[in-house]
């Protein structure tokens, strides 16, 4: 499996709007085992995204999907920047095939 954990910073006051765009079409990504978008309790503009994929190729392929490309295009003006980004090797967990 392949995992990503990343922090995204929304333009001030645009976090909820950005979250809506990030969640649009998230259920139609082949190979995605888990996609969680969370707010940061210490920063009103920060979002944490945690993803688990069956493999890295599925993640790369998802970035080419029309729905994902459309969401990225709409989200770009709402993104102020990025914070930490970590790649992981998930080994199992609740809701994940191990």
**Phi, then psi, of 27 in degrees rounded to 5:** -85, 0
How do residues 1-56 score in pLDDT, each as one tens digit? 999 999 999 999 999 999 999 988 677 789 999 999 999 999 999 999 999 999 99
Residues 6 or more apart whose CB falls under 8 angstroms from that of 54 comprise 1, 2, 31, 33
Structural domain count, the chain: 1
Q: 48: closest CA among 14, 94, 5, 93?
A: 5
Asked if the structure places residue 86 within a domain, the reply is no
For the domain that residue 11 is a member of, what is the CATH number?
3.30.70.100
- Its domain, for residue 41, covers 2-81
- Whether the pLDDT of residue 60 is over 60: the answer is yes
Asked if the structure places residue 94 within a domain, the reply is no
The upper half-sphere exposure of residue 70, i.e. CA atoms within 13 Å in the direction of its Cβ, equals 8
Name the more confident of 95 and 64: 64
pTM over cut 0.85 = yes
């Amino acid at each position: 499996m392949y995992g990503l954990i990343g922090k995204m910073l929304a333009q001030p006051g645009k976090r909820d709007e950005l979250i809506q765009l990030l969640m649009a079409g998230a259920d139609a990504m082949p190979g995605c085992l888990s996609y969680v978008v969370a707010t940061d309790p210490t920063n009103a503009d920060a979002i944490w995204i945690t993803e688990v994929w069956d493999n890295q190729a599925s993640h790369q392929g998802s970035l080419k999907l029309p729905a994902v490309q459309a969401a990225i295009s709409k989200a770009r003006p709402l993104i102020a920047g990025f914070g930490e980004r970590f790649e992981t090797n998930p080994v199992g967990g609740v809701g994940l095939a191990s």
